[in-house]
Amino acid sequence: METVAQIPKYNLNEEEEKKLILREYRSLLKGLKTKLKPGDKYLIRTAFEMAAEAHKTMRRKSGEPYILHPIAVAKICADEIGLGVRSTICALLHDTVEDTDISLEDVKREFGEEITRIVDGLTKISNVIDVNASQQAENFKKILLTLTDDPRVILIKLADRLHNMRTLDSMKRETQLKISSETVYVYAPLAHRMGLYNIKTEMEDLAMKYMEPEVYKDIARKLSETKKERTKYINEFIKPIKDKLDKAHLNAEIYGRPKSIHSISNKMKKKGVDFEEVYDLFAIRILLNSTPEKEKEDCWKVYSMISDEYNPSPERLRDWLSNPKSNGYEALHTTVMGPEGKWVEVQIRTKRMNEIAEKGLAAHWKYKEGASDESRFDKWFQQIREVISNQETDSIDFLQDFKTSFLAEEIYVYTPKGDVKMLPVGSTALDFAFSIHSAIGVKTIGAKVNHKLVPISHKLLSGDQIEIITSNKQKASEDWLGFVVTSKAKGRIRDALKEEKRKVADEGKYTLQRKLEGLGAAFNHHNIDELVQWYKLSSHLDLFYQVSVKNIDLKDLKDFKVFGDKIESPKPLKIQSEKGEYIPQPGKKDAELIIFGESSDKIVYNLANCCKPIPGDDVFGFVTTGKGLTIHRTNCPNAAKLLANYGHRVVKTKWAKNKEISFLTGVKIVGMDDVGVVNKITMLISGELKINISALTIEAKEGLFEGNIKLYVHDKEELDNLVKSLMALPGIESVERYDMEDIPS
């Protein structure tokens, strides 16, 4: 997908609307044609009429009739995910129970138990991203529980989210940001984990269109400009391989496709290169028409032909034929050096493997005989069930853990007896210990990986064989949370630490009780809450623990007033900024649009250190406890997490034109090390452009220099102008703004 079409403004009359709805409905039926059994058409028609009637007075933000949304979701389920008739009915009804007068009983009476269960699951999820962050994560757990009962719930939800992303243009800016962040944070990784690569890619691209519009447009434009030469190159690359395949009588299709805008942008950020330097802008895909028993053999034959023709990069071979991913993905990937010295990624798979790669989990039900793949998915669901059923941790932690633990790529490792365990990439020996049993995890003191002694934080690789060493004297430690990645390990470590903390806190509880009673106040819920707030702690347990370890001096209690048996803190617990100025509270009407940057402004804000925004950057405000409003760039590394988890604390924010205030930012310059180069740079910045330099370091090495300059600019326009002027200097190779936390201190 190189560009995304804009939604035309909606202006149809009633007659045209009816025709449009009918046309969309017929198109849905057409996609299901091969799956329809006798009686199915009647059921789909009933669901359609039920939904159309229920939603008849509702409109979407774009102005179009609401019923077009459930039809579109049902079409995505049928055409792009490959689901069948029952899922289509559920997709048509997915919003009815929540948004209209239709009840689950009505659905059950009309369609039976199975469809009702799925619609119920979808209704629970629809509140997932709620204004209250922990509420959101609680609901997210509900989705996962439903998901493990019937994965169709999540597949239909992904279709719903994809259609919302495709029609996001008519939403307000802050809604676009919030929905895009949630999509990139939870839904795209979930689509990836379900094996829906096309949907994952489109979600990421669409999210980027709203979160980083400038970068998105720039890459889309460059992709479109280079399309002709890419096509020419792909044809040149394919020709010799096509000849070899024909000679070997292998029936195959070959085509090239561009990488997604999001993945190109990621490469540019990670490698610090320009668009022109991203070597694998496209991948070549070879699809074989093989019989099931010859699939592997044919794929390896094709690999051999490619590596005869072009030099492969040995460390870039990925063999998912011998060990498919847990979402069922099977293929051979290799990267080879093509003509004109360009690297090209080649993916080799059969038609069956391709269907699983495109339709993910849904395709599994079609190829049920692949029992090993089925069991892989079942294992994954089983792990999720286990974690959720023991889940006591903070809900936000849960969402974060779920991401790292279940939405990551996985590795396969072995026990000393040769049993295989599936763990997320980045797992340590300690994660492995917890995956065997919690009791082993908490007693782990070390491990042997491939018979060599390693520390518990040692990162595992696919194929490692691990033996765990334990001791009864070992106890869980806080720093373990810093290196384990699986939900199970994090949950069990937190439980063990809590238990330990509880024992210590008991002592503090009695100390506090004696103190309060000495003041004539009661040891009750109200008084403890008052103290928890006063000391800015998160729970009663924390308060007792801090008293016990003497981090809190109870002499402060003499400043509290006692009324009857209740205490009252000495001064009001208001969040105050240094200047004591007004801080916007989320959810209030007057905080909807904050214009700041003017010296007369009364709103206190901080610029986030993680991304150092400057006027002109695309930004949002985030209400932080104790600090008021913090301003982040929408492409800040922390943006997706903040917007997805704490959407209710986000304030729509806009810069005001102001040339009085300067903002600290930084640029990194790379160029040829030449006499007087520093002088040229400083003359341009300070002399010509009159920009104030805060710090400058230049390091020369083997004919190249790298300069880091911290400087004060008024806005993004001034920074862009500076970058352009520096690039125009002779011998300068690249100039880029420091990405966020990289500004050297």
Enumerate the active-site residues: 98-99
Pairing of strands 410-414, 311-312: unpaired
Q: What residue type is assigned to position 214 of the chain? A: E
Residue whose C-alpha is closest to residue 411's, from 463, 462, 457: 462
Tell me which residue has tokens 């009324």: 563
Tell me if 83 sits within 8 A of 28, measured CB to CB: no
Instruction: Dihedral sign for Cα 663, 669, 675, 681, please.
Output: negative
Q: What is the 3-state secondary structure (H, E, C) of 660-718?
A: CCCEEEEEEEEEECCCCHHHHHHHHHHHHCCCEEEEEEEEEECCEEEEEEEEEECCHHH
Beta bridge partners of 469: 446
238: its two tokens: 């394919």
Q: In angstroms, rounded to a whole number, what is the distance separating the alpha carbons of residues 6 and 542?
A: 52
243: its two tokens: 């000849």
Q: What is the 3-state secondary structure (H, E, C) of 21-83?
A: HHHHHHHHHHHHHHHCCCCHHHHHHHHHHHHHHHCCCCECCCCCECCHHHHHHHHHHHHHCCC
419: its two tokens: 């049993």
Residue whose C-alpha is closest to residue 565's, from 522, 531, 523, 514: 522
Residue whose C-alpha is closest to residue 528's, from 550, 511, 551: 511
Query: What Rg, from alpha-carbon coordinates, does the chain have?
Result: 30
Beta bridge partners of 655: 596
Binning the chain into helix, strand and coil, the percentages to the nearest 5 are 50, 15, 30
DSSP 459: B
Instruction: Dihedral sign for Cα 536, 541, 544, 550, please.
Output: negative
Residue 340 backbone phi and psi in degrees, to 5? 60, 25
Helix (H) or strand (E) holding 97: helix 96-99
Tell me if 582 sits within 8 A of 605, measured CB to CB: no
DSSP 187: I
